[in-house]
Amino acid sequence: MRNTSLFLILIFSAMSLKAQFQKATAPVAEKKEHWRTLHDDKVLDEYYWMYDYFGKGPDSTSVVNYLTAENSYLDAVMSNTKTFQENLFAEMKGRIKEKDESVPVFKNGYFYYTRTEDGKQYYKYCRKKGTLDATEEILLDVDQMAEGHSYYSATGFEVSEDNKLLAFGVDLVSRRQYSIHFKNLETGEILKDAIQNTEGDPCWANDNKTIFYTSKNPVTLLSEKIQRHTLGTNAATDVLVYEEKDKSNYIGVGKSKNNKYIFIVSQATMSSEYRMIDAAKPNDAFKVFQPRMKDVLYSVIPLANKFLIRTNKDDAKNFKLMECPLEKTEVANWKEVIPVRNDVLLQGVEEFKDFIVINERKDGLVKLRIRSLKDNTEHYLDFGEPAYSANFGANPEYNSSVLRYGYTSLTIPSSTFDYNMTTRVKTLKKQQEVLGGYNSADYITERLSAIAKDGTKVPISLVYKKGFKKDGNAPLLLYGYGSYGASMDASFSSARLSLLNRGFVYAIAHIRGGQEMGRQWYEDGKLMKKINTFNDFIDCGKFLITEKYTGKKHLYAMGGSAGGLLMGAIVNLAPEMWNGIVAQVPFVDVVNTMLDESIPLTTNEFDEWGNPKNKDAYFYMKSYSPYENVEKKSYPNMIVTTGLHDSQVQYFEPAKWVARLRAMKTDNNVLLLHTNMDYGHGGASGRFDYLKDVALNYVFLFTLEGISK
């Protein structure tokens, strides 16, 4: 049972709200007439001018002024909570072990790891030769490299086959446009070679002087070309080896785990295609593995004597595993290894010299299935919890019999295990240390099922602290995503303890549009079935109220990006259900964004949302798009976050949405917009700074519950 003082605080929350949320005058965005006419449908978009920042047109200054005014308004409204935010930030930061080290990963004769230091936001990327007792080499001091930058992201660390050169990507703006740089690991020199506007994905050929990389369209940010660079040459002369003509496809390049092949992958939502060369012959022309087939996805896993293919060919909705000879890769030569199963989603394969490990999902949970390549004997790893997340860890060594995997749950901190596939012995290598005396036995996790309006059972994972009383008075934060087939597995968060320790229940709604229950689960929550995603989430909320895990006055919802679209939809469909909403970088202007092919990601995602140039798709999108459906009615308390440099969901979507909500809503509830003027989609790059945004969102929720410390 929650303590008496907290219970009294909840009863008198209305009095606390008056004391904590300060009155201030909200900014009023200017309205400018702009009409969209399509399919004989004429729509006024009075905030269309907010698109202008990156175009640097006449309204770009007005955009910044408006976003700044909204930030000032948020500061004024939340002014009495600043000390609470600072204390909460310190509390969450205090659970993080500042001086720490990752579990070393062995590759090509070296152990690679990162380590962090007290007070530092970033890390050192290091290695030791042959043994962990060897002298440490600091390959990159990212703490030092990030000095003077408000945002700094380093990625794509790839060492040449001779272990002498390091290639890596750097993004200073948070728009995922990486420049690739090279370091001589023998001399410490950063080479003059620099390649701009890439995905940050360098891939070494076996000659130690050639790399392949993905270059981006500077406007749409689409991955359009694979290019080849030779060290010591001007990047302007790099050779184009592949150009993707289909703007609905993402492309990338990478080397196989056995170091024999370099693959170019082109994939859309519904089809894919691989190209390949011998990694020792970088100047060869890429050969198509199997030409793309309509509505067929496939991925390639090279073994010593054959290729494995994970595919949904022949209506294998949950995917099956096939194989083909090394020299005969066309589909006519594919043979079935593991058939499709209606109740099991085959998610991926990790290959080794003598084993393969198949990542499967059944009843919403991941199973790891180990098969010997010598005799085809099999067994499964057992995890033994009702709700958890398990996945492959870093396994770069092909000639290994040890599988590294990660495991976590709502109560178990992130854990790294090594599993010897020969002896079947499991070894815990590291578990995330939570400072301050965390005890998992103090918390309880449950797995429930809500019934959606069409009769579908929707899983819910939830966690709360012992002493929770199921009487409808506890605050509950319901999280959801429900898009792109992304499964929201139950995982641990040390920051979330600040919610649980103050009486909150935390729940994840595993709604359609994700892939928790198989591929059909995804397909039933996209395109012309997208409304299922929103209804599922609302029905999960209703179920939690009916079962008295919470009540309407204490139910909150959170989602980001496509999950922010979810937030926008549910406040239009069922505004009365929620006391507060946290919408993070929300994709809320669906129709307008999907009509603009100059916006990053638009053309890649026609198979996810539809193309509004198609009349049926247009009117279906318009029926749920949050921005299109704002009405004169009461809305719940809301905090909306965005980043000015966001490349995934542009800043103007949440800005326009908030402006229209301000103009239309009939309530006196709090509506706040926070724009981070330095960052993009993922927020701050430092390992502590992001907690300031978490603290802001949590304090917003706490204030609505009358919790002031």
Q: What is the DSSP string of 454-498?
A: TS-EEEEEEEEETT---SS-S-EEEE----TT--------TTTHH
Kindly report, residue by residue over 571-585, the tens digit of the pLDDT: 999 999 999 999 999
pLDDT attached to residue 172: 85
Quick check: 368 pLDDT over 70? yes
pLDDT given for residue 205 in this prediction: 97
- Taking each helix axis from N to C terminus, what angle separates 690-704 and 82-93, rounded to the nearest 10 degrees? 130
- At residue 175, the pLDDT reads 75
Between CA 699 and CA 693 the distance in angstroms is: 10
pLDDT of residue 122: 87
- Quote the crossing angle between the two packed helices 4-11 and 13-20, to the nearest 10°: 70
Q: Return the axis-axis angle of helices 531-546 and 562-573, rounded to nearest 10°.
A: 70
Rounded distance between C-alpha atoms, residue 535 and residue 540, angstroms: 9
Least confident of 3-17, 56-70, 306-320: 3-17
Tell me whether residue 681 is one of the annotated catalytic residues.
yes
Catalytic residue among 646, 647, 689, 693: 646
Catalytic residue among 524, 681, 685, 693: 681
Q: Closest Cα partner for 581 from 538, 545, 622, 544?
A: 538
pLDDT at 681 over 80: no
pLDDT at residue 108 tops 80: yes
Most confident of 52-66, 396-410, 684-698: 396-410
Is the model more confident about 149 or about 360?
A: 360
What is the distance of C-alpha 488 from the center of its chain?
Answer: 10
CA atoms of 467 and 1, how far apart (whole Å): 4
Phi and psi angles of residue 471, each rounded to the nearest 5 degrees, phi first: -125, 10
pLDDT for the residue 105: 95
pLDDT of residue 367: 93
Using the CB atoms, write b or e for 632-664: b if 16+ within 10 Å. Answer: eeebbbbbbbbbbbbbbbbbbbbbbbbbbbbee
Class of domain 103-338: mainly beta
Tell me the average pLDDT across 588-595.
95
pLDDT band with cut points at 50, 70 and 90 for residue 173: confident
Mean pLDDT of the chain: 92
Q: What percent of the chain has pLDDT over 90?
A: 80
The answer on pLDDT for 687 being more than 70 is no
> Looking at the predicted structure, is the pLDDT value of residue 606 above 50?
yes
| 561 labelled catalytic | yes
Least confident of 265-279, 561-575, 586-600: 586-600
In this predicted model, which residue has the larger pLDDT, 8 or 245?
A: 245
Strand partners, 336: 322
Contact residues for 416 (Cβ-Cβ < 8 A; gap 6+)? 103, 393, 404, 405, 406, 428, 429, 430, 431
Query: How many contiguous H segments (helices) and E segments (strands) does the chain have?
Result: 14, 39
For residue 4, name the pLDDT band (cuts at 50, 70, 90).
very low
Q: Please tell me whether the overall predicted TM-score, pTM, comes out greater than 0.95 for this model.
A: no
- Assign 649 a pLDDT band (cuts: 50, 70, 90): confident
Neighbours of 703 (CB within 10 A): 24
Mean pLDDT, residues 445-465: 96
Q: What is the pLDDT of residue 14?
A: 41
Q: What confidence tier does 10 reach under pLDDT thresholds 50, 70, 90?
A: very low
Mean pLDDT of 616-643: 97
Which of these ranges, 119-128, 325-334, 418-427, 683-692, has the smallest mean pLDDT?
683-692
Task: Give mean pLDDT, residues 680-688.
Answer: 57
- Is position 625 annotated as part of the catalytic site? no
Asked if the model's pLDDT at residue 682 lies above 60, the reply is no
Contacts of residue 281, defined as CB under 8 A and 6 or more positions apart, other chains included, come to none
Confidence at residue 688, expressed as pLDDT on a 0 to 100 scale? 73
Instruction: Using alpha carbons only, give the angle 416, 417, 420 rounded to the nearest 5 degrees.
Output: 155
pLDDT at 471 over 60: yes
Q: Is the pLDDT of residue 509 over 80?
A: yes
> Is 60 exceeded by the pLDDT of residue 189?
yes
Of 541, 485, 538, 478, nearest to 513 (Cα)?
A: 485
Which CATH entry fits the domain spanning 4-94+445-704: 3.40.109.10, 3.40.50.450, 3.40.50.1820, 3.40.50.300? Answer: 3.40.50.1820
**Among 223-232, 261-270, 384-393, 423-432, the least confident range:** 384-393
Q: Which of 187-201, 630-644, 670-684 has the lowest mean pLDDT?
A: 670-684
pLDDT > 80? residue 387? no
pLDDT for the residue numbered 2: 35
Q: Facing residues of 461 across strands?
A: 447, 508
User: Which of 256, 494, 561, 625 is labelled catalytic?
Assistant: 561
Asked whether the predicted pLDDT for residue 674 surpasses 80, the reply is: yes
Give domain limits for the chain.
4-94+445-704, 103-338
45, amino acid identity? D
pLDDT top residue among 162 and 270: 162
pLDDT band at 52 (very low <50, low <70, confident <90, very high): confident
Comparing 60 with 663, which gets the higher pLDDT? 663
- 615-624 and 531-546 are packed helices; what angle lies between their axes, rounded to 10 degrees? 30
Confidence class for position 20, pLDDT limits 50, 70, 90: confident
pLDDT of residue 677: 82
The mean pLDDT value for 528-540 works out to 98
pLDDT at residue number 657: 98
What does the pLDDT read at residue 121? 83
Task: Tell me the mean pLDDT in the region 137-146.
Answer: 93
Binned at pLDDT 50, 70 and 90, residue 176 comes out as: confident
